[in-house]
Structure 1
Amino acid sequence: MTDPSRTPTVAVSNQKGGVGKTTTAINVSGALNELGNDVLFVDLDPQGNATENLGMMEAYDAEPPTLFDCLTDPERRDSVHDIVHDHAEMDVLPSNIDMTAAEPELTLSRRSGEQLALLLERVDDDYDFVVVDCPPNLGNLMDNALYASRNLLIPALAESTSKRAFELLFDHVEALELDYDITISERGVVVNRIDVRKNQATEMVDWINEAFDGVPVWEVRERAAVQKALENGSSLLEYDPECDMCEVFLDVAADLEEQFAAREVEA
């Protein structure tokens, strides 16, 4: 069971690329902020797409200390306070080009899957939520995100290839749960870029709702404003609050609040 005393931490994860992972992470973070939460956004993807989308390319190319140093060198963990960047909607722990070397470095670590959790202990008490944008592949960085969060929000597309992606993800999650004797909870699925004109999209959304019985499923329809918001360095709620998809991300955020509030009551 997830420790209810810890700051609610959610990994936005799907090892299949192009499913709207970063879009989901940024917009859910923006929605949590809109509901009055202090949010820390962690870009754990070495590609740094979220860091770029949030207008922080200078951080991606910055000299040490960076997220790589804080993650792979225990003696530099306290430097995390120096690399958290301000954004209008959230604080950001940006990725860095050096993160491309993190996988082999973490392999050599004695507690390879626990480094992010140990790092977040330095800062997560300052926030109401931590949202981790995961890399689009399985490995040590993904393990660190899942171990640190114990909570999973899954972005997906309304296409048949998602079925195999779900299978691979859950096989990996189950193996990690066994290795570390932990429980990782599914907090919901966000289906992105739905084109309601396509029968396959409608059929796939129905399949996801059936497959994830008891788990919330949210539908994000194709809207140009979603991509334009990222190009503008913000969430959709900041860029175009009148867009109808804002309500979807606010629903995700409100549901996460409710789920974590219920967790505390049960404890």
Structure 2
Amino acid sequence: MPEPAKLCVSNQKGGVGKTTVAINVAGALNARGRDVLFVDLDPQGNATEGLGLVDEYESPPPSLFDVLTDPEERETIADLVVEHEEMDVIPSNIDMTAVEPELVLARRGGEQLSLALEHVEDDYDYVVVDCPPHLGYLADNALFATRNVLIPALAESTSKRALELLFDHIESLELDYEIEITDRCVVANRVEETNEAKEMMEWFHQAFPDIPVWEVRKRVALQRAFTDGHSVVEYSPDLDMAAVFDAVAADLDEQFGFADAEVPA
């Protein structure tokens, strides 16, 4: 079997449905029989809530904050893993709202997630990291740890500037750390039947000719699944958008070398 595949879901523009995309991609990978670890790196804890783990968000230390800021607590990341029906989860925590200043001052501040994941990642096929909706040290940690990025974006003209900022940031990070970060796919989210959306879908395909561009349309079931604490693949497997996320997962399997691994019937 290939090495564990790690990818982060990142776009600093708020309101693009980043967390929903992250949960549904992780759920689709699970449905294909992959062991998935989902890391909620967003201090707002939206993914933690969307996976039905609200109580974990306010749990006492140690939390992900301690793992990222105290080298002596790094190994306790294994104790933070919570079992969910579809995936294992390292939840966010309310203490994470204070983590950025700590990372700025820390030695190797952009590498703390990578160092912590070394203690758990070999138990999984995939590690999926949900980033915060801004570019800072947490996003740097996710990008450095995974070296692969899945990009959710709205089919709106404002996405062009947001993506430009994201890629400028990635390029700077690659230069600073002498690493390579690979774009794995773009998920155009909440696509509607408008001329702007059609034009933006054409732009996505032109701007990203070498990677898949997936189209996820607005569906009430996507929000209902989130409220229910599951991916749409689990909540409503017959939904057309569940099929899209399954296709995303199948393509990731191909890219990361899992294509020949068994998929449950």
CA–CA distance in structure 1, aligned partners of residues 148 and 138 of structure 2: 15
SS of structure 2 residue aligned to 1:64: coil
Partner of 1:201: 197
Give 1:218's aligned amino acid.
Answer: W
Q: Tell me, yes or no, if structure 1 residue 177 matches structure 2 residue 174.
A: yes
CA–CA distance in structure 1, aligned partners of residues 231 and 17 of structure 2: 13
1:174-253 superposed matches below 5 A: 174-196=171-193, 198-253=194-249
What do you get for the CA RMSD once the two structures are aligned? 1.3
In the TM superposition, residue 82 of structure 1 has moved relative to its aligned partner by: 1.2
1:59 to 56, 60, 66: 56
Identity in percent: 64
Q: Work out the number of aligned pairs and report it.
A: 259
**Unaligned stretches of 5+ residues in structure 2:** 260-265
Partner of 1:24: 21
Give 1:220's aligned amino acid.
Answer: V
Q: TM-score normalised to the size of structure 2? A: 0.96
Judge conservation of contact 2:189–2:217 (CA < 8 Å) in 1. Answer: yes
In the TM superposition, residue 7 of structure 1 has moved relative to its aligned partner by: 1.6
CA–CA distance in structure 1, aligned partners of residues 45 and 101 of structure 2: 18
SS of structure 2 residue aligned to 1:17: coil
CA–CA distance in structure 2, aligned partners of residues 171 and 97 of structure 1: 30
1:1-267 superposed matches below 5 A: 6-196=3-193, 198-261=194-257
In the TM superposition, residue 236 of structure 1 has moved relative to its aligned partner by: 0.1
SS of structure 1 residue aligned to 2:74: helix
**Unaligned stretches of 5+ residues in structure 1:** none
Give 2:14's aligned amino acid.
Answer: G
CA–CA distance in structure 1, aligned partners of residues 32 and 211 of structure 2: 22
CA–CA distance in structure 2, aligned partners of residues 19 and 73 of structure 1: 32
CA–CA distance in structure 2, aligned partners of residues 191 and 121 of structure 1: 32
SS of structure 2 residue aligned to 1:188: strand
Give 1:134's aligned amino acid.
Answer: C
> For each residue in 1:83-108, what CA deviation from the matched residue of structure 2 results, as whole angstroms up to 9, or x when unmatched?
11010000000000000111000111
Give 1:260's aligned amino acid.
Answer: F
In the TM superposition, residue 215 of structure 1 has moved relative to its aligned partner by: 1.0
Give 1:45's aligned amino acid.
Answer: D
CA–CA distance in structure 1, aligned partners of residues 144 and 102 of structure 2: 17
CA–CA distance in structure 2, aligned partners of residues 59 and 161 of structure 1: 35
CA–CA distance in structure 2, aligned partners of residues 251 and 18 of structure 1: 23
CA–CA distance in structure 2, aligned partners of residues 262 and 111 of structure 1: 32
